[in-house]
Amino acid sequence: MGDKVASTIENLQNPDQVSYLSQREAAEIDEILMGPLGFSVDQLMELAGLSVATSIAEVYKSSEYSRVLAICGPGNNGGDGLVAARHLHHFGYKPFVCYPKRTPKALYSGLVTQLESLSIPFLAVEDLPVDLSNDFDILVDAMFGFSFHGAPRPPFDDLIRRLVCLHSHDQTRQRAPVIVSVDIPSGWHVEDGDVGGEGIKPDMLVSLTAPKLCAKKFSGPHHFLGGRFVPPSIAEKYKLRLPPYPGISMCVRIGKPPQVDISALRENYISPVFLEDQLEADPIDQFRKWFDDAVAAGLHEPNAMALSTSDKDGKPSSRMVLLKGVDKEGFVWYTNYESRKGREISENPRASLLFYWDGLNRQVRVEGTVQKVPEEESEKYFHSRPRGSQIGAIVSKQSSIIPGREVLYQEYEDLEAKFSDGNLIPKPKHWGGYRLKPEVVEFWQGQKSRLHDRLQYSLKEINGRQVWKIDRLAP
Ligand SMILES: Cc1cc2nc3c(=O)[nH]c(=O)nc-3n(C[C@H](O)[C@H](O)[C@H](O)COP(=O)(O)O)c2cc1C
């Protein structure tokens, strides 16, 4: 069942499997949404612009691609661009807007007022550099949408030419700005695409509601779908096959992400400096402060940590586990005592933990000795878990070789039936917690040009007392 769902999702992310709309179908869907389905144009525009902004943020980080020029046409597509510019401002980008043919309607003048209130500069076409490559990192092409036909008129013909010209820089420059087209690359035929082959070649296309037929001809690295508002009645009527949006995201990628050159992945960290006078005297207090920051920053699973152990011959191994408690006694996680890590800890109780909090540019390293937590503590935690996880802990002979998934399902179902009366599920003997008592804790914060901060606590005995000594280490 699970495998079937996964393969359907995979199919729907394959560009050959998703649906593409004709111009007529796209227009009909808009009419239904704004007619019997009760949407207003303002709502759809807001959601479309938000989808464009989140698609951009998913691929192009503001730390590297901060300067965005949104080139907005007079219609709905231009409105999507104006909304995207507003969201991008709130996401930490520095947007500029070129909106040469303003539409005298309340919706559009409201969007302009909102952007002006954020001090987002409006640039006239005459004020734009002929070569857009030096002043911007991202160019949002929001000139024409699916209802456009005919030949683009001034000043949009010239603006399109400027976007086309950028491709010739690709070979010569280190990095030309990227072009993000909203729904349709401006100047393309809605169904036939870039007919003459001389049009804009966007790096990213954000299709709205569903891709239009021209999107089949899109050959750039990032095709996203946005407009998470299509109700089932429309999906059924138009037999739409679209990839499901992950989690609470407003956008979803169509097709595979491009292969990245791992050696070229390099982040220039920008954080406030981390100085000795900001440190707590005790590393557990310092850890709690940083952990609270990671929670407040909304990071996913901030309690995930890499646990490294080694066997009696010193052969190391690492895996992720979840931190389930921390206090002056140490760091606690739960697992199977008969797993590989359990066996290794019994042979060699020395271990290390590593937390990495992307987004805060921080890591924490912890080293020390490990002990099992008292049985009562493990019992208490075991019974606080959902019943499914309790059964799972019994089912899994963690780290042993099994012939296939079926054995897990079978045993799970048997145990589910056995405990269906709601009675207490006994904790298996081989399952419980470990506590690592720290001897060395290092707090690392990434800084510009690799001049990172590293502050290390190590436990020293001074006059018969255990005290934490703090040193700064070279990055
Ligand atoms: C984010 C994350 C959290 C995990 N948390 C735990 C955990 O708390 N306890 C655990 O036994 N395994 C956890 N696992 C699975 C372990 O990484 C690992 O597969 C398992 O414990 C077997 O490891 P071993 O064979 O080295 O003993 C987690 C995996 C991930 C990716």
Q: What is the CATH number of the domain that holds 373?
A: 2.30.110.10
Ligand 1 pocket test, pick from 322, 352, 408 with the greatest ligand atom count within 8 Å of Cβ, gives 322
339 CB under 6 A from ligand 1? yes
- 153 classed as catalytic: no
Q: Which of 450, 454, 465, 472 is catalytic?
A: 450
Q: Does residue 177 sit in the same domain as residue 239?
A: yes
Q: Is residue 271 one of the residues assigned to a domain? A: no
Q: Is residue 317 one of the residues assigned to a domain? A: yes
Note the pLDDT tens digit of each residue in 33-89: 999 999 999 999 999 999 999 999 999 999 889 999 999 999 999 999 999 999 999
Query: Helix H segments across 375-427?
Result: 375-384, 387-395, 405-418
Q: Is residue 111 one of the residues assigned to a domain? A: yes
The Cα 241–Cα 18 span in angstroms is 5
Q: Is residue 465 one of the residues assigned to a domain? A: yes
Query: Helix H segments across 208-329?
Result: 232-237, 283-296
Handedness of CA 219, 222, 226, 232 (dihedral sign): positive
CA of 150 to the centre of ligand 1 (A): 59
222 neighbors 59 (Cβ within 8 angstroms): yes
CA of 318 to the centre of ligand 1 (A): 9
The Cα 74–Cα 61 span in angstroms is 28
399 CB under 6 A from ligand 1? yes
Nearest to 144 by CA among 227, 191, 81: 81
Binding region for K(+): 77, 141, 186
DSSP strand pairing (178-182 vs 138-142): parallel
Residue 187 gets the label, from left (phi > 0), alpha (psi -120 to 50) or beta, of left
Q: Does residue 227 sit in the same domain as residue 343?
A: no
Q: Does residue 243 sit in the same domain as residue 343?
A: no
Q: Which two tokens stand for residue 343?
A: 């066996």
Closest ligand 1 atom, CA of 339?
Answer: 27
φ, ψ for residue 304, nearest 5 deg: -75, 135
Q: Is residue 416 one of the residues assigned to a domain? A: yes
220 neighbors 205 (Cβ within 8 angstroms): yes
| Number of domains, the chain | 2
145 neighbors 77 (Cβ within 8 angstroms): yes
Q: Does residue 367 sit in the same domain as residue 221?
A: no
Give the domain CATH number at 183: 3.40.50.10260
Q: Does residue 307 sit in the same domain as residue 162?
A: no
Q: Which domain holds residue 228?
A: 15-260
Q: Is residue 359 one of the residues assigned to a domain? A: yes
Cα angle 52-141-215, degrees, rounded to a multiple of 5: 75
416 CB under 6 A from ligand 1? no
Query: Residue 116 carries which DSSP code?
Result: H
Q: Does residue 245 sit in the same domain as residue 280?
A: no
Residue where one domain finishes, among candidates 202, 225, 260: 260
Report the pLDDT value the prediction gives residue 172, as an integer from 0 to 100. 47
Residue where one domain finishes, among candidates 225, 260, 295: 260
Hey, how many other C-beta atoms are within 10 angstroms of the C-beta on 149? 9
Q: Does residue 236 sit in the same domain as residue 343?
A: no
Nearest to 257 by CA among 307, 309, 210, 204: 204
Q: Is residue 124 one of the residues assigned to a domain? A: yes
Residue 243's contacts (CB-CB under 8 Å, 6 or more residues apart) are: 9, 12, 13, 18, 225, 252, 253, 254
Q: Does residue 319 sit in the same domain as residue 243?
A: no
Q: Is residue 94 one of the residues assigned to a domain? A: yes
Residue where one domain finishes, among candidates 213, 236, 260: 260
pTM, rounded to two decimals: 0.63
Cα angle 175-181-187, degrees, rounded to a multiple of 5: 110
Per-position pLDDT tens, the chain of length 475 = 445 555 555 666 678 889 999 999 999 999 999 999 999 999 999 999 999 999 999 999 998 899 999 999 999 999 999 999 999 999 999 999 999 999 999 999 999 999 999 999 999 999 999 889 899 999 999 999 999 988 899 999 999 999 998 865 454 445 689 999 999 999 999 999 999 999 999 999 999 999 999 999 999 999 999 999 999 999 999 999 999 999 999 999 999 888 777 777 677 777 888 999 999 999 999 999 999 999 888 889 999 999 999 999 999 999 999 999 999 999 999 999 999 999 999 999 999 999 999 989 999 999 999 999 999 999 999 999 999 999 999 999 999 999 999 999 999 999 999 999 988 999 999 999 999 999 999 999 999 888 999 999 999 999 999 999 999 999 9
Q: Does residue 358 sit in the same domain as residue 463?
A: yes
Q: Does residue 228 sit in the same domain as residue 172?
A: yes
Q: Does residue 62 sit in the same domain as residue 207?
A: yes
Q: Does residue 210 sit in the same domain as residue 178?
A: yes
